[in-house]
């Protein structure tokens, strides 16, 4: 199979954050120290080489950028300060934009105007929906469900979840097509995809491969964050009828306990990451793409405005509660629209998906008695 060279690739990647590509002289130190590199999936040196040579097709087929959890050990040991960890991060951004068939991911990664514009458009759309369609504003007491009937909010939740799931799954399907191209021509029995589903679920929920890095505290924080996301998703989508009520539940009620847990986790982990990026002490936080900031700030504000709505409701401030509720959704909805199919949350889906697909491929190779050789 012929290999096409794209001389523009390194320039394209620079816009995604890969600034030190030429500094690398291919010594291989980074691969030697990487705790996650394996014989079957060797990185990061090989991937940086693809980038230097402009081998775009090889890069698109490579699962390795998704197997890096950005511990930063390679960047600390690189004799040329080529920052391989950040190069792998830039490649994940680039690949996300390449999997996305709408082209929006690329625009959002490369243009602040597009990102801010899309946030504004979606946010103003939410504001317009409430302006024209909100229910009566009871001012004697807080009646959030009269102002924003839970059945309508729930319907909006499910419509949004359907659209975003479709976009994410269709992009994930394109990723599958890229990384499962097999030049050895091995046929993969469909049963293997089913047998390995537990790999997908376990890695999707725990991202446990990260624990093999020498910085397990970051994995624990990430795990907490995932539990926070999942808990909040369940509360505001699946169990919204029990979560958004006008009745003040006792402190020990499951929806309050879980809501406080998810909010505390989201606030703590995002604030911690923001401070770390400002200090630039940790290797992984020395370089920040504008989209990294946007993600953290939006997630922090979503959690903050959510808890402020709750406090205002407990305090018995009707109008403030209604206005803050709209502001909360004007932040939360655009964040989900941007991040789930086109940004950071897509990364969260692509990592376990690649681990799962690599496991399926490995088993197919084992069954065919052909060693799974790295591309």
Question: What is the number of other CB atoms lying within 10 angstroms of the CB of residue 375?
Answer: 18
Structural contact between residues 357 and 180, judged by C-beta atoms closer than 8 angstroms: yes
36 or 298, CB closer to ligand SF4? 36
Between 215 and 244, CB nearer to ligand SF4: 215
Which tokens is 300 given? 């922090």
- Kind plus residue range of the DSSP H or E element containing 113: helix 112-133
- Check residue 141 and give left, alpha or beta (phi > 0: left; psi -120 to 50: alpha): beta
Lookup result for tokens 């991937």? 47
What b-and-e string marks burial along 165-186, b requiring 16 or more CB atoms within 10 Å of the CB?
Answer: eebbeebbeebeebbeeeeeee
Interface with ligand SF4 (CB under 6 A), residue total: 26
Of the candidate residues 34, 55, 119, 232, the single one contacting ligand SF4 (CB under 6 A): 34
Q: Using an 8 Å Cβ cutoff, are 58 and 95 in contact?
A: no
In the block, which residue shows the tokens 């900031």? 293
For residue 21, state whether it binds ligand SF4 (rule: CB under 6 A). Answer: no
Q: Is 40 in the site for ligand SF4 (CB under 6 A)?
A: no
The total number of residues shown for the chain amounts to 375
- DSSP assignment letter at 238: I
Report the chain's C-alpha Rg in angstroms: 23
Region class of 156: left (phi > 0), else alpha (psi between -120 and 50), else beta: alpha
Cα of first residue to Cα of last residue in the chain, in angstroms, is 12
**28 is a contact residue toward ligand SF4 (CB under 6 A):** yes
CA angle 177-179-184, nearest 5°?
A: 100
> Applying CB under 6 A, does 59 fall inside the site for ligand SF4?
no
Q: Applying CB under 6 A, which part among 75-83, 174-182, 226-234, 358-366 lies near ligand SF4? A: 75-83
Which of 71, 296 has the CB closer to ligand SF4? Answer: 71
CB of 113 to ligand SF4, least distance (A): 31
Q: Which of 21, 60, 78, 91 binds ligand SF4 (CB under 6 A)?
A: 78
Among the listed ranges 28-36, 154-162, 226-234, 239-247, the one in contact with ligand SF4 (CB under 6 A) is: 28-36
CA nearest 63: which of 179, 148, 173? 179
Residue from the set 50, 70, 99, 322 that interacts with ligand SF4 by CB under 6 A:
70
**65 contributes a contact to ligand SF4 by CB under 6 A:** no
Q: Using the rule CB under 6 A, is 91 a contact of ligand SF4? A: no
Is residue 63 involved in binding ligand SF4 (CB under 6 A)? no
Select from 26-34, 113-121, 245-253, 315-323 the region that touches ligand SF4 (CB under 6 A): 26-34
Query: How far apart are the C-alpha atoms of 299 and 266, rounded to whole Å?
Result: 7
Site string for ligand SF4, 239-278 (x = CB under 6 A): ----------------------------------------
Q: Return the residue of 18, 51, 74, 354 that touches ligand SF4, per CB under 6 A.
A: 74
Interface with ligand SF4 (CB under 6 A), residue from 18, 88, 126, 168: 88
Q: Are the C-beta atoms of residues 228 and 266 closer than 8 Å to each other?
A: yes
Distance of CA 53 to the CA centre of its chain: 28
Does the footprint of ligand SF4 cover residue 27 (CB under 6 A)? yes
Among 9, 13, 21, 68, binds ligand SF4 (CB under 6 A): 68
Is 48 or 332 the residue whose CB approaches ligand SF4 more closely? Answer: 48
Rounded to an integer, what distance in angstroms lies between the CA atom of residue 254 and that of residue 129? 31
Q: Which of 6, 15, 26, 122 binds ligand SF4 (CB under 6 A)?
A: 26
Q: Which residues bind ligand SF4 (CB under 6 A)?
A: 24-30, 34, 36, 43-45, 48, 68-74, 78, 80, 82, 84-85, 88
């Amino acid at each position: 199979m012929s290999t096409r060279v794209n001389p523009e690739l390194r320039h394209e990647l620079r816009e995604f954050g890969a600034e030190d590509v030429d500094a690398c002289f291919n010594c291989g130190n980074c691969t030697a120290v990487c705790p996650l590199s394996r014989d079957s999936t060797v990185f990061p040196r090989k991937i940086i080489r693809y980038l230097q040579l402009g081998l775009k097709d090889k890069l698109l087929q490579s699962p390795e950028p998704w197997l890096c959890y950005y511990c930063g050990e390679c960047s600390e040991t690189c004799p040329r300060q080529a920052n391989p960890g950040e190069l792998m991060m830039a490649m994940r951004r680039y690949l996300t934009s390449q999997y996305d068939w709408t082209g929006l991911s690329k625009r959002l990664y490369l243009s602040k105007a597009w990102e801010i514009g899309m946030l504004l458009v979606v946010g103003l759309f939410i504001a317009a929906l409430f302006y024209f369609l909100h229910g009566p504003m009871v001012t004697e007491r807080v009646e959030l469900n009269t102002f924003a009937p839970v059945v309508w909010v729930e319907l909006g939740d499910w419509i949004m979840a359907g659209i975003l799931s479709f976009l994410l799954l269709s992009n994930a399907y394109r990723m599958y097509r890229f990384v499962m191209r097999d030049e050895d021509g091995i046929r993969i029995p469909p049963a293997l995809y089913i047998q390995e589903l537990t790999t997908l679920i376990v890695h999707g929920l725990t991202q446990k491969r990260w624990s093999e890095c020498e910085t397990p505290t970051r994995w624990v924080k990430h795990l907490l964050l995932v539990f926070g996301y999942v808990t909040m998703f369940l509360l505001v989508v699946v169990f919204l009828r029990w979560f958004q009520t006008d009745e003040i539940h006792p402190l020990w009620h499951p929806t309050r306990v879980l809501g406080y847990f998810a909010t505390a986790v989201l606030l703590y982990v995002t604030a911690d990451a923001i401070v770390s990026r400002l200090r630039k002490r940790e290797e992984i936080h020395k370089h920040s793409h504008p989209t990294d900031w946007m993600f953290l700030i939006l997630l922090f504000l979503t959690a903050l405005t959510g808890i402020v709505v709750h406090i205002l409701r407990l305090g018995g401030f009707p109008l403030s509660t209604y206005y803050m509720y709209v502001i909360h959704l004007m932040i939360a909805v655009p964040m989900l629209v941007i991040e789930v199919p086109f940004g950071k949350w897509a990364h969260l889906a692509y990592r376990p998906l690649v681990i799962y697909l690599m496991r399926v491929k490995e088993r197919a190779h084992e069954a065919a008695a052909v060693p799974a050789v790295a591309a």
